[in-house]
Every structure is written in C-alpha cells, then in structure tokens.
Amino acid sequence: MDQTRMPLIEALKQHKKQSPVSFHVPGHKNGQLSSFLDLSYDVTELSGLDDLHAPEGCIQDAEKLLSDFYQTNESKFLINGSTVGNLAMILGSLSEGDRVFVQRNCHKSVLNALKMAKAVPVFLAPEYDENSKTVVLFSTETLKKAYRQYRNVKAVIFTYPSYYGMADEFKTLAMIAKENESIILVDEAHGAHFVLPYEGIPESALYWGADIVVQSAHKMLPAMTMGSYFHIQSSHIDREKVIFYLHAIQSSSPSYLIMASLDAARAYTAAYKEIDHHYSMQVVDRVKKVLESRGCLCFKPDDPYKLLVRAEGLSGYELQILFEQAGVYPEMADPFQVLLVFPLLKEGQMTFEADALKKLDYFHLKKGIVRERFPEVKKTKDVSTLALPYNEHNKYKKEFVPFHEALGQIAGEMIIPYPPGIPLIMEGERILNEHIESLEWMLIHGSRFHGGSGLKEGRVAVFCGEV
C-alpha cells in the first residue's frame, strides 16, 4: 500500500476547498467564531468524511493503511486516548470472575478496567532496575511462580515499555504466557514508534505474540493529544465484544482534528528513514553532552528517544524547577531524576535542537535543599492479590483517617502520583508502612496526585463497616 497517502486529510482538504457554510455542529462554524485556532478541519460526520463508528470511506482507508503499516489483523483510531483503549481491551477480553495476571506498576486505567470488569487480578511485582532507578517488568521467575500457583489464567496484562522507556525481556515473558494459553494484552502507550526497524529501537509487542496492543500515538509520534491506536493481532479474542466497547465508551462525536493527526502521524512515521533516526540520535547525544558539561548525570534507557537526567544533591523535583526556569519543560520528575522525551526528527529539521541548546544556555545547577533521602525501594511480594476483591468493594463504607491510623487497613481509593499515573496505593490493598513513608516524602517534595482527596489534610480513605 502507498504509505504516503493520507486519505482522511485528503478528504478534509477537499471539503475545505468547497468553502462550505456550516449549519451543523460544532458551534464555531468551521472556525469562523474562533480567533485563536484554525478549526476549519474540526467538522462532524458530513458527506464524504465518513464515520469513525461505522467507517466505509476515508476513515476506513486510513485505518487500513494503519493496519498495513503495523502489520496487524486490524487497527483502529482512538480519540479518547490510550485510557479508552485499555478500558476496551480489558472489558472486551475479560468477564466477571476471570483471573488475570497484571503488573503491579500498571497505569491506573488498567486497574479501573479490571474493577469495571469484576475480574480477579493477581499482581506480579516488578523488578527494580538500579541503573534507571525505576521499576521495570516482572521477571520470568515471578511469572512462572504465578502459573504454578494459579491455573486457568485468562490473560496477562503487560505495560511495555515502561513510562521511562525500559523494555526488558518482554519476548520471553510473552512466550511463557502463550505456553500457558493466556491471551496477551499490552499497554504499549509509549511504544508507537517501535514499529521502526532501526538500530537501538526495541521491537513492538505486536511482533511477539500480543493479542491486543494499545499505543498512544500522541506520546511519541506527531499526533494530537488523545490520539491513540488500537491494534488487534489475534483470532483468540472476541472481536465483536471488543468493538462494542470501543463504540460504547468512545465519544459519539469524534474529533476530526485528532483523527486527522492520527492519519498524518502514521504517514510521518512510515516515511521516517534510517538517516532520520541517525540524525535524531545525534541530537540526543549533543543535548546529553551539554547537560553533562553542566554537571548533570545522564542515563539512556532502552528507548533511545528518552533520556534520564540527574544531579548530585538534587531531587528530580528540584531539578525539574531548574529546567523550567531555563524554559525547558521535562516530561516528568520523580524523586531521583527528570525524564526528557525527544521527537522523531527528520534530517534537516534543525529548529528543535537550536531552540533546545539556546534555552540550555540559561540552565545551571544550584545547590539543592538537604532533605531526607527517598525511602528505600522495597519489593513487594512476587505474587499477590487484593485484600478486598473488586466485586466486594460496594459492600463497605469508606472513611478518611490520618496516615498513621491507616497502617494495616484496606485502602478505599487509589492514590496515584501523576505523572506517570502508576498507583502508589491501590484501592482494595492493605496499606503498609512503606506506602505511608513514600507518600509523605512525595508530598513534601511537591509531587502531584490523582485520587487521594484527603491528602492535603494528611488523611487517606479506607474501607470500614459494611453498608
């Protein structure tokens, strides 16, 4: 197939050429009422522009090109982000009571979907990587141990790669899951570019036995926020059930701007050559060299388009402030470091590097505030379950208690440092001392949270008496 084509964008251009008068939604009327943004492509399901939920024209063509590029059985556009993809993937693949293995360090959308499906998750503890200072995939030993403990495991849910770009031994883990007749569901939000066959780029889970893969095109490809891809690569899943949930939980008024950006992102990536990758890697190295000359310590994870940056005596949060004061905005900070995410630059696209290096002229390290070190990272049990299963949560009331009173009680809500969106405390698990220590440290250092509505008052929600 001709990967230079962008059917949806071509159709939108043709529609715009007609200088149409809008008597339809949205209310800005082809951008006439908006002075700050060109919204002429923000239309609705008009003649010639197809329908995301029943595609048979330009959207169908665009999705077929996407499937051809990623070599899948079927690929779909997502306009509500990878969150909706994870929800549809899990709700469409699991039924109430199904046992599933899932990484303890998964995204909150995975846990929300498991709760909605009333599935029975068994959590596999990730390994800690000392070099990247992050948790990564669980080990092959942990997965084998879990299969010895549990039979009839419907699915294994992977997060691959990690937010930080660590890929680990996914291939081996996928083989073990297949040998045990589990379907493989993958949150590959940060791996949409893994389709590229160039040196140093890990391979997509699509090529190692995954049944469904969800990718955030907007994270690593030039797509608009909330633009993601949903790939089906197996006949072992109930396609009709999956498609039902895609229709049910995505907006019935999909954004043509987002869909157009997904079409363009696929074409951009398909045209991305080895010489472009080589140029991008040179940019990464030059930025890394400048940061090291300023006294930073830099670490390259498995994904070559990401860079971890640290500074002696500074937390990642303090380092993030110094970057932002220079006009450079990292993707995120954690207690140890900041994460920089680089674009897929094409040879000759020099503006990004020039702007970055100009801003870094104003970046200088300062002495940090001496604080307690982040609590030692302790590995949880290799294989564990919730103290209170999802299907019993609605039987109990909740109350907010001070941190010290929460020890040993069962958490009544998820508490999630954001980014990266990985729960520190999961709803239904027993609250341990290390949870409280980490939570208090992160609050002191300015981490932001989703959930934890009582954190400002030093309280957390716990389950109490029956309803």
93-151, pLDDT tens digit by residue?
Answer: 999 999 999 999 999 999 999 999 999 999 999 998 989 989 899 999 999 999 999 99
DSSP string, 327-345: T---SEE-SS-EEEE---P
CATH of region 274-361: 3.90.1150.150
pLDDT of residue 377: 63
Residue 382 amino acid letter:
D
Reported as a pLDDT band with limits 50, 70 and 90, residue 83 is: very high
Hunting for tokens 């980014």 — which residue is that?
Answer: 419
Are 403 and 452 in contact by the 8 Å Cβ rule? The answer is no
342-384, pLDDT tens digit by residue?
Answer: 999 999 989 999 999 999 999 999 876 555 667 766 667 899 9
Ranges of each domain in the chain: 57-251, 274-361, 386-466
Beta-strand runs (E) in 176-256:
183-187, 212-215, 228-232
Are 25 and 44 in contact by the 8 Å Cβ rule? The answer is yes
Range with the largest mean pLDDT of 212-216, 328-332, 424-428, 455-459 = 212-216
Strands 306-310 and 338-341: antiparallel
Reported as a pLDDT band with limits 50, 70 and 90, residue 284 is: very high
412-464, pLDDT tens digit by residue?
Answer: 999 998 878 888 999 999 999 999 998 998 888 778 898 888 998 999 999 99
Specify the CATH number for 386-466; select among 3.40.50.10420, 3.30.70.100, 3.90.105.10, 3.90.1170.30.
Answer: 3.90.105.10
CATH of region 57-251: 3.40.640.10
